[in-house]
Amino acid sequence: MNNHLLWAPHAWIDGQWQRSVCLGVNTQGLWTDITANVHTPPAGATVLTGPVLPGMVNAHSHAFQRAFAGLSERRESDSDDFWSWRDRMYGVALRITPAQMHAVAAQLYVEMLKGGYTQVCEFHYLHHTGDGSPYEDPATLSWALADAAEEAGLGLTLLPVLYERAGFARPALRDDQRRFSGTPEFIHSLYRSAQSSGRAHVNAGVAIHSLRAASRESIAALMKRVGDDDVPIHIHVAEQMQEVNDCLAATGARPIEWLCRELAPDHRWQLVHATHATAAEVNSVAVAGAGMVICPSTEGNLGDGLADLPAWLAAQVPMAIGSDSHVSRSWAEELRWLEYGQRLNLQRRNVAAAPGLGQPSTAARLFDAALDGGRRAAGAKKWGLTNGARADALVLETQSPGLLGMPPTHLLDALVFATNAPAVREVYVAGKQVVADGRHPQEDVFAARFAGVMRELW
């Protein structure tokens, strides 16, 4: 890749729209020499057709669950909740092959790009063959995800997951969880394999499925192996009230309370969901310097409950967003539902806005929070339209119905709260265009392959 220049009529830099922006891309695919008020595009620059936003990190994904999205929206018994959904979801987990995983992930990753994500954190707990035995290469399913990300052109943070038991009082996995098993040594080896793979735009961290799914001793053993490596560490926590009650019964403490007291999380840690948190727990996370990842479309789909967004924002806990089970693949929809849940719960509007802090725009405050939280969740040192960050960009389609005629100052507001049609025209990852005119060059091939896998699975 040679050094080249992009020029945009507007670009989102340092939390505001700036005009006539020239963005340099160096040979490593990083931004350099970003300059506003360059009213005439330099000779040889690629002139972008619309306003430019940074790409977003999707901070929580289970790629294989894309093959289950839309297939659990019926109730044929007296009740349906997260736990019954989970049992049905395991049917996909037990059947999917590496080739099918690759096809499903490639389709998903193209959808993510078109929805404005340019990096995904894969919370990856599907490790073994269908009968629970290891593959000849233990990282086979990890490579299926990495290959799919490379084909699509999406950045990948691989997070192999420690998963060893079925619950606080169930020291072994259930039979339908046999593909998930992993010791601290095994998880660390997957992390090291991915981190040292040399693949472009791939990095790695580690994850613990949840406190119910891993013992304190095993979590400590994994953390000892990770040591001081400055990499992301993710964990599901306090997603469901049953989990909170089970943790109280087993340990005498709530999940986040126990986590902060016993495991001393630091800036590397990301608490996924953290739906049911007390004020004291929110404060403990803030003091620890850890972040949280919220997944509004999945949490709504599963009936998890509503996080106390005002408390998390007030405590200045870094917040990322994720699409989790992939009932939505658009960050704008995640931010919309994040705010709408609060409006419905509190019977107020613009809950996330903070005019007293100079942030009157709900969309802008949430977008900037998710940008920085996503950077941390993915283990990136820099992110966004800033010198030294990877050159990822979204070019908006201003003729999209939700953006049509919108003044530039309100484009982000309209994208989040008034747009339900595709509004991303072009996507760049590391300076390379991967979506043009709203289409990915391989999307028809990936879609046909995905449809074939769905027929095989269902």
pTM of this prediction? 0.98
**β-pair type (202-204, 155-162):** parallel
Percentage of residues in the chain having pLDDT higher than 90: 95
Catalytic-role residue among 236, 273, 276, 326 = 273
In tens, the pLDDT along 378-393 reads: 999 999 999 999 999 9
Determine the residue type at 272: V
Catalytic-role residue among 324, 368, 392, 413 = 324
d(CA 140, CA 129): 10
Long-range contacts of 247-250 (CB under 8 A, 24+ apart): 247/168, 247/211, 247/212, 249/168, 250/168, 250/169
Query: Known catalytic residue: 4?
Result: no
| Residue 1 confidence (pLDDT) above 80 | no
d(CA 322, CA 276): 17
List the beta bridge partners of residue 22. Answer: 7, 35
In tens, the pLDDT along 79-128 reads: 888 888 898 899 999 999 999 999 999 999 999 999 999 999 999 999 99
Structure tokens that stand for 283 in this block: 């404060």
Determine the residue type at 454: M
In tens, the pLDDT along 157-212 reads: 999 999 999 999 999 999 999 999 999 999 999 999 999 999 999 999 999 999 99
Query: Known catalytic residue: 124?
Result: no
| CB 337 within 8 Å of CB 311 | no
